[in-house]
Amino acid sequence: MFESFSSVDSSRTTPTEWLLARIAGREQAAAIMGDLEELSATRSKSWFWIAYARTLVSLGWRTPVAFLIAMASMRLIFRIIFSWRINHRSPTLMETGLFGVYNPHVRLITWNISMVVAQSLIFAVPFVLVRFGWRNRLSQLTCALFLIAMPIYSLRTWLMDLTGVLMMIAVVSALITPLWRKPMIVLAATCVTATAAVASCVYILWSIYRWHYHALSIFSCEAIGLALAAIVCVYLHRWLLERPPASDRTLA
């Protein structure tokens, strides 16, 4: 019979228990495995594996589906943004005469950071909405930052400056507010992972093949980086936002 998480020797966790814990969490997985073991005592092994597979699907479908929807939505949103930019051309940043209001190098850094954050949020919004639902604090925070970040794609200097300032205020406010601090940490880790993973993958690809690679390779790098970001998001959400407070935990 399969060992449960409640066994004395926790180092003897079976692969079935380990996989279920990755999806449902250690405590819930222990309860589910206990129920399956108890019911399978009067049934066949095939019943156990069918019930186990059904449990994996019912508990784990949201993450892969959320990832696929987020990837598709990101492509669609980028296509809409670029089409809008082509049809609504405005004077370039240099032509506005505002580029030299303050240090142009500092300005380019703030714009680039805002643009990178906006790109990460385009993926994060559909992912967290599908994975966690609208009522989740992480989803609400991600949507709020997404609305703040989108004007960066207008490429109008005053809107880009305002967007950068508002995003900084929103992030700092979330970090100093106890209710939103943990969701902000999860979102920040997700965005940083996405950016770092995609950039690293593209850099390695370019170092190996130089200019002899195509769009499919870039898409693969993007998919790998965003998949890592999705894993980080789900793991940190479970660790920081789903665990009960320390006062509610027991030693059992």
Q: What is the pLDDT of residues 106-116, one digit of tens each?
A: 566 677 778 88
State the amino acid at position 226 in one-letter form.
L
Per-residue model confidence as pLDDT tens digits over 97-155 = 444 444 555 566 677 778 888 889 999 999 999 999 999 999 999 999 999 998 888 87
Per this entry, what is the length of the chain?
Answer: 252
* Higher pLDDT pick, 3 / 163: 163
- Please enumerate, as own/partner, the contacts of 169-175 that have beta carbons within 8 Å and a separation of 24 or more: 170/144, 170/145, 171/145, 174/141
Residue 129 structure tokens: 């909405």
Instruction: Specify the amino acid at residue 131.
Output: R
Residues 26-81 pLDDT 10s? 777 788 888 888 887 888 788 888 888 888 887 778 899 999 999 998 888 877 77
Cα separation, 93 vs 104, in Å, equals 11
What does the block give as tokens for 23? 């999806």
Numbers of helices and strands, H then E, in the chain:
9, 0
The H or E element spanning position 96 is none
Q: What is the largest CA-CA distance in the chain?
A: 80
Whole-number Cα distances in Å, 181 to 136, 209, 233, 240, 241: 14, 42, 15, 10, 10
Which tokens in the block code for residue 122?
């385009």
Count CB-CB contacts under 10 A for residue 62: 15
